Chains A and B, each alone.
Chain A
């Protein structure tokens, strides 16, 4: 994989590892940005890994743009020797699929959708060749997903499905973006799912909602006291479909400060994963649920 570099004005270097999304490109972006962080290069102010690219912001008064570019190219080439293994976390995210709030919103913006007569879930099921909404929910929630980027807005994870490419769920964005999306909506656009960390504009298809906050600027929620954003690039997410009763109970637990998300440390090897994806995902499920 040959990385393409470009200056983004006088304060950024943009590096495209791959034009297409792949776990290989994501791992490389993660490794190079880790190496840049470890190198503690003078003048570097922001280090941002993304799905299949990364971006470094710098102060050209402290380091010459060409000097930083040379250093980045060196680190980029060097990262290819790294064994693709990361120490990370697997996090269970409960989801009420087909919930009333995203349903109300998607009906309100129906004229901006490819299929004005159906719902986002019905549409996504059909274009992915699945037999109805339940089959789609099963396909969405049975395998884990990688957090391949955090951003757009504060703490929003982009998630990449950990299955063979031919099984990956895909859906276009809305024809025209909505001006409203409920907070904590589970959305999907292209090959990426996401969780909207805040209420606002959005163009992804809407599948459900999680009761579990992932961003808390006031840092009152127990598991967000150390830092206001839950997700980091490299985290692994497993969706857990829940019903309305479980959703309401979880919301009450969050409000009462009792909600304890399931988060486990795990080591992930891309080589072993690629050898037998289903077996590896079962192993990850075992780590999550302690069996």
Chain B
């Protein structure tokens, strides 16, 4: 069983839940940027929730199936079409041998997860099938899909019916505008003035065009004013420089104090820019669904709120598992 890639979309990659354990040598987690949607797509077609799927960003691919299959698309509102006939997102459906899966224009969100029963069966590299394109590692030949690729599909573990769906309350997608992204101040927060810190959390930012799997850039807020200092040896002369250090996932660096960048799942593991804090783990999926120009507010939270949000997200996944058991 294989899937032929007729058109690759914009930047479609194979992703699972990621590759922990190698960040200390610069190999990031990778994996789906919206893990909840990735798990939902898999559960809809009867896969283990961490099976490898296709992550399509902004634009869907065009795929031809060489055998019958069950598929589901979750995450962004990227409407699927089977031989030109519309199908639902968040719903499993059958594809017959020779049929072509394509997509209509993106209606909402940024990343659609295309799960196929059996999972995309590319080789496991360092414990994961996820693509880390910057390092040409994992996924399909270490890169985004190209026309002419043939993706292997694994054996179906347990066949499921088509027409299974995920109700709206279990989808975990961003709601309302501006999108609120919760973050804990910290790391090098002391480098900026109190007024700058307040401005960071009260300004409305917009997602910049430079938004990808490495990080999301934001613009439109006020520049951050720094607390004066003598540059420490090794840091560099710009007030936003630090002695090169590790970057947490979700950390918010602000090069030159102007445009914040939130690092995501293909994060560069370290570098020489100060960070004002870190987006909480529970809100990382939301960032993966933001389109350029989306207004965003960063909301200041503490550890207790971060852990409570984390618990809510885990419970949502629990309900999703129960609903699709």
Chain B interfacial positions (CB closer than 8 Å to A): 20-21, 23-27, 125, 132, 134-138, 142, 183-184, 186-187, 189, 232-237, 241-246, 248-251, 268-272, 275, 277-282, 303, 306-307, 310, 314
Given the complex, which residues of B lie within 8 Å of A14, measured CB to CB?
A: 186-187, 245-246, 248
26 pairs from A and B in contact (CB 8 Å cutoff): A7-B184, A8-B278, A9-B184, A9-B278, A10-B307, A12-B248, A12-B278, A14-B187, A19-B232, A19-B242, A20-B234, A21-B234, A21-B243, A46-B21, A53-B246, A61-B310, A151-B23, A151-B268, A153-B135, A153-B269, A155-B27, A156-B26, A189-B272, A190-B236, A191-B233, A198-B134
Q: Which residues of A contact B272 (CB under 8 A)?
A: 173, 189-190
Which residue of chain B is the closest to A10 with respect to CB atoms?
B306
Q: Which of A8, A47, A61, A173 has the most CB of B within 10 A?
A: A8
When distances are taken between beta carbons in the complex, the residues of chain A under 8 Å from B244 are 50-51, 149, 152, 158, 190, 192
B245 touches A198 (CB 8 A): no
Instruction: State the majority secondary structure of interface residues on B.
Output: mixed
A274 interface residue (CB < 8 Å to B): no
A61 to B234: give the CA distance in the assembly, Å: 37
A229 to B27, CA, bound (A): 10
Residues of A within 8 A of B250 (CB): 8-9, 11
Q: How far is the CB of B247 from chain A (nearest CB, A)?
A: 8
Is A49 at the interface (CB under 8 A from chain B)? yes
Closest to A55 in B: B246
Nearest chain B CB to A189 CB, angstrom units: 7
Mask of A1-19 contacts with B, CB within 8 angstroms, 1/0: 0000011111110101011
Evaluate contact between A10 and B280: CB separation under 8 angstroms.
Answer: yes
Given known pairs A45-B21, A46-B20, the reply for A154 and B135 (CB within 8 Å) is yes
- Please list the 10 inter-chain residue pairs (A to B) with the smallest Cβ-Cβ separation, ordered nearest first: A21-B234, A8-B248, A9-B278, A55-B246, A151-B269, A20-B232, A154-B135, A151-B26, A12-B248, A10-B306
- Roughly how many angstroms separate A11 CA and B271 CA in the complex, as a whole number? 19
Q: How far is the CA of A8 from the CA of B251 in the complex (A)?
A: 7
How many residues of chain A have a CB within 8 Å of chain B? 56
User: A27 near B: Cβ within 8 Å?
Assistant: no
The docked-state distance in angstroms from the alpha carbon of A27 to that of B232 is 18
Would you give the shortest CB distance from A32 to chain B, in whole angstroms?
A: 13
> What residues of chain B lie closer than 8 Å to A18, measured between beta carbons?
232, 243
Cβ–Cβ < 8 Å partners of A247 in chain B: none
Contacting residues, chain A, for B282 (C-beta < 8 A):
10
Which residue of the partner chain A has the closest CB to B236? A190
Contact (A152, B26) CB under 8 Å given A8-B186, A10-B306, A198-B134: yes
- Which A residues are in CB contact (< 8 Å) with B269? 48, 151-153
Q: Is A200 an interface residue (CB 8 A)?
A: yes
> Known interface pairs A10-B280, A20-B232, A154-B26. Does A50 touch B270 (Cβ–Cβ under 8 Å)?
yes
Could you tell me the distance in whole angstroms from the C-beta of B245 to the nearest C-beta in chain A? 4
- Beta-carbon contact of A48 and B243 below 8 Å: no
Closest residue to A215 on the B side, CB-wise?
B135
Q: Are A9 and B25 in contact (CB under 8 A)?
A: no
